[in-house]
Structure 1
Amino acid sequence: MLGQLFTGGGDGRVLSIELPPGDVVWPDPGYSQFSLDHRPAFWLSDTVVSGDLWAGLRAEHGRSGLWPVLLEDSVQPWSAGQIAPDAVAEIDNYHAAAFMAEVWADWVQKADAGQLELLDPFGPGCPGPAPSGELAADPGAVADWYAGVIAERRTPLGLVAADRGADALAVMGWQGALNHNEWMVPLAAVVRSWEDRFGARLVGMGFNTLDLSVAAPPVTPEHALHVAAEHWTFCPDSVIYSAGTLIDYAEQIRGRNAWSFWWD
């Protein structure tokens, strides 16, 4: 069953962990933008899973090629197949810096003068991506810890044929940020960049939520403020509704080993 997730049937892939009952999820042809060779988008468990199972599957990712994702629940869009998978190759065409600059400029162009206070101290000038953080722990270990936290919500499991967690956003056809960005590929490019710069790992997602572990978070106020600017372009609702300004939001994420996003 899992072999259906791979082009060529997953020859040479190995998974030694016993899985709970589950089945593959096929995308709705009306939602898909790209042909995936008539393959299912991911595998979905029928039951909730533990953080330990997630950690074991993450450890086997190099051999299995399957990235585990804790899902908010088993209801739509997962079980209904209302998902729009994209070609992973498309992610290579996008870069975090370009996405950030485009979102920033577009918002500034439409904003009233009083709204620019939200972006203090940067104002209308996009600061670009923040410098890399310093690893405080192994990214895999931090991801395993966070999976234990997320699993307390009693979530089912998704398995995705992806070389890295960020790519699961495209492969699964997740549309959680639809009201912010209609195409998930640029967001996957941003998460790839966070994997490289902050040791981020995709752990969970919901209908309109995303949960990442972070092994190299910003620890100074200045660095956190720069990262906050990135988060605002990635998910404005997380900043506006949880903090109101970049300065206040920066204090919320400084030194934290988990980033959670929510789109209205």
Structure 2
Amino acid sequence: MAKSSKVRTPLSALAEDPQGRSIGLELPPGALVSAPGRRSRGRKPESLLWVSDEPVGVGALAAYRSSALAAAGLQAVLIQGRRGLERWWQEREFSPERMSDPDDHHVEPVLREFWSRAVPDPEEGEEGEEIIAPFGRDWPGLAEAGADGVDPEAAARALADELIASGFLPSPRLALIPAGRGADVPTAMGWGGPANFENDTALISAVLRSWEDRFGARVVALGFDELHVSVAAPPRTAAHALPVAAEHFAFSPDNICQGSGSIRAYADEAVTGSNHWGFWWD
């Protein structure tokens, strides 16, 4: 009986060629991170991502976020540790098997369901109403797309450099993930950052896909429970920013409930004209 051929993935090239020269790259030292679970006899566990051994500096994302990488089926992002979880990716904090397919979801039903979970209980009265004002308890619908934006990839590179130079990301690693588009990176790696809010990260990717299309958004960095997105065409007026802020409230309620305090304040502080959308889940 003939032996079955090995299944090749976009990361297979890095297993054989750690610096990625065969796909037009010159990567720093790094290692593949495998999926959790038992090893089958004679088979190595599937690799989910490649991560640099050491932190990278300004210009790193620009150096590796290339057409050659995309052609190889890989997406480059930054991943950041946090105190007590400096290298959370080495703890195999991934569950790709529990994620569905982003293709199976549409953004509006997803955000409508998220909104229904996030809106304050009617018993909270005026205090709860103030959090979501000027909107009511019914899902307000999708915001209009942004306009007159810069090149989305240029915006992603600029944000990455800004986050590193400012110390916002003090020790980011370069990571390569096999995915067809940046919005699918959290699902492809089985990232569990929003697990206390939503266990199926494919729903998160469905929203990110829509933001890619409407606002030129790009996934730039992920932490244990944080997500940072560049925005090429953000809303420029308060009127446009409010429905976008409502989407953010549905997507990551902690941004408002444990941050700005209301959708109005959040729209002003974090959405209007902002090229950086950051999210976290408690």
Q: TM-score, normalised by structure 2?
A: 0.83
> Contact between 1:94 and 1:189, CA under 8 Å: does it hold in 2?
yes
Residue 119 (structure 1) aligned with residue 132 (structure 2): yes
Within 5 A, what are the aligned runs for 1:60-79? 60=67, 61-73=69-81, 75-79=86-90
Match in the other structure for 1:257: 275
Residue 6 (structure 1) aligned with residue 10 (structure 2): yes
Percent identity, aligned pairs only? 37
Q: Give the Cα–Cα distance (whole angstroms) in 2 for the partners of residues 40 and 148 of structure 1.
A: 28
Residue 26 (structure 1) aligned with residue 34 (structure 2): yes
Match in the other structure for 2:193: 176
Question: CA distance change for structure 1 residues 14 and 233 in 2, over 3 Å: closer, same or farther?
Answer: farther
Within 5 A, what are the aligned runs for 1:182-261? 182-252=199-269, 253-261=271-279
Q: Give the Cα–Cα distance (whole angstroms) in 2 for the partners of residues 65 and 215 of structure 1.
A: 23
Range 21-30 or range 208-217, more displaced: 21-30
Question: CA distance change for structure 1 residues 24 and 232 in 2, over 3 Å: closer, same or farther?
Answer: same
Q: Give the Cα–Cα distance (whole angstroms) in 2 for the partners of residues 255 and 107 of structure 1.
A: 25
Gaps in structure 1 of 5+ consecutive residues:
31-36
Q: Give the Cα–Cα distance (whole angstroms) in 1 for the partners of residues 12 and 174 of structure 2.
A: 24
Q: Give the Cα–Cα distance (whole angstroms) in 2 for the partners of residues 133 and 204 of structure 1.
A: 22
Match in the other structure for 2:17: none
Please tell me whether Structure 1 or Structure 2 has the larger radius of gyration of its CA atoms.
Answer: 2
Match in the other structure for 2:4: none
Pairwise CA distance, 1:108: 4.2
Pairwise CA distance, 1:225: 0.3
Question: CA distance change for structure 1 residues 231 and 108 in 2, over 3 Å: closer, same or farther?
Answer: closer
Residue 150 (structure 1) aligned with residue 168 (structure 2): no
Question: CA distance change for structure 1 residues 88 and 182 in 2, over 3 Å: closer, same or farther?
Answer: closer
2:145 to 87, 110, 132: 132
- Secondary structure of 1:125's partner? coil
Q: Give the Cα–Cα distance (whole angstroms) in 2 for the partners of residues 62 and 213 of structure 1.
A: 18
Pairwise CA distance, 1:6: 2.9
Which amino acid counterpart does residue 213 of structure 1 have in structure 2?
S
Q: TM-score, normalised by structure 1?
A: 0.88
Gaps in structure 2 of 5+ consecutive residues:
1-6, 15-20, 39-43
> Contact between 2:98 and 2:200, CA under 8 Å: does it hold in 1?
no
Q: Give the Cα–Cα distance (whole angstroms) in 1 for the partners of residues 122 and 227 of structure 2.
A: 27
Q: Give the Cα–Cα distance (whole angstroms) in 2 for the partners of residues 111 and 94 of structure 1.
A: 29
Residue 101 (structure 1) aligned with residue 101 (structure 2): no
Question: CA distance change for structure 1 residues 8 and 44 in 2, over 3 Å: closer, same or farther?
Answer: closer
Range 219-228 or range 53-62, more displaced: 53-62
- The size of the alignment, in residue pairs, is 254
Which amino acid counterpart does residue 254 of structure 2 have in structure 1?
D
Pairwise CA distance, 1:78: 0.4
TM-superposition CA deviations, 1:126-152 (whole Å, max 9, x none)? 111111001321001111101112333
